[in-house]
Amino acid sequence: MIPKGSDYTQYQEFTNLRLHDCEYGAMTYFFEPPESWANPADCGIWPCTGPKNTVMFFNDIKFFKTCTSNNAEELGCTEEQIGGEIEEAGLGPDFQMIPDVVGYSEMFDGCSKMPAINGYFCKTKGLGILLWES
């Protein structure tokens, strides 16, 4: 997330990625708007909601895990696969991530809370951002 994205963060789209030994929490973190944004240069007397107005699109994503002697049983690796990589289901090839906005994010069908990103992982399609400019 952009530290100075106080009012709006343009939606992000990621396509054809291959993620190796990636923890989901390392993909993004939707932070809470800092109180310091409550100033005349940013959003007046209240913090802006830029970090809460975000959608990330992931298309054709593949997740891989390295098989080691320590995780072989957990990942279902054969002895021949130790030292190599296997593809795992991960979050699936197509998904979206949205921030945790209480009273809002949990209302979308196909979305599951993911505390590691302070947001939700969604298998639904068609989420977007409605932008009002004044």
Instruction: Please give the Cα distance from 37 to 43 (Å, whole number).
Output: 6
Q: What is the pLDDT of residue 39?
A: 76
Please name the residues in contact with 19: beta carbons below 8 A apart, sequence gap of 6 or more. Answer: 27, 61, 62, 63, 64, 90
Q: How much is the pLDDT for 2? A: 52
User: Global pTM?
Assistant: 0.80
Strand 56-59 with 85-88, pairing = unpaired
How far is Cα 134 from Cα 131, in angstroms, rounded to an integer?
10
In a domain, 97, yes or no: no
Q: Is residue 82 part of a domain?
A: yes
Chain position carrying tokens 């989420």: 127
How far apart CA 45 and CA 25 sit, in angstroms, is 32
Its domain, for residue 24, covers 12-32+41-92
Whole-angstrom distance, CA of residue 19 vs CA of residue 11? 20
User: Does 118 fall in a domain?
Assistant: no
For residue 109, tell me if it sits in a domain.
Answer: no
How many separate domains does the chain show?
A: 1
pLDDT (0 to 100) of residue 94: 92
Q: Rounded to whole angstroms, how far apart are CA atoms 55 and 77?
A: 35
User: What local confidence, expressed as pLDDT, does residue 17 receive?
Assistant: 92
Residue 20: inside a domain, yes or no? yes
Q: Is 111 part of a structural domain of the chain? A: no
What was the pLDDT predicted at 3?
54
| 45 located within any domain | yes
Per-residue pLDDT of the chain (134 residues; tens, 9 = 90+): 555 556 667 778 999 999 999 888 888 999 888 777 777 777 777 777 877 888 999 999 999 989 999 988 888 888 889 999 888 877 889 999 999 999 999 999 999 999 999 999 999 878 888 777 66
Residue 79 belongs to some domain of the structure:
yes
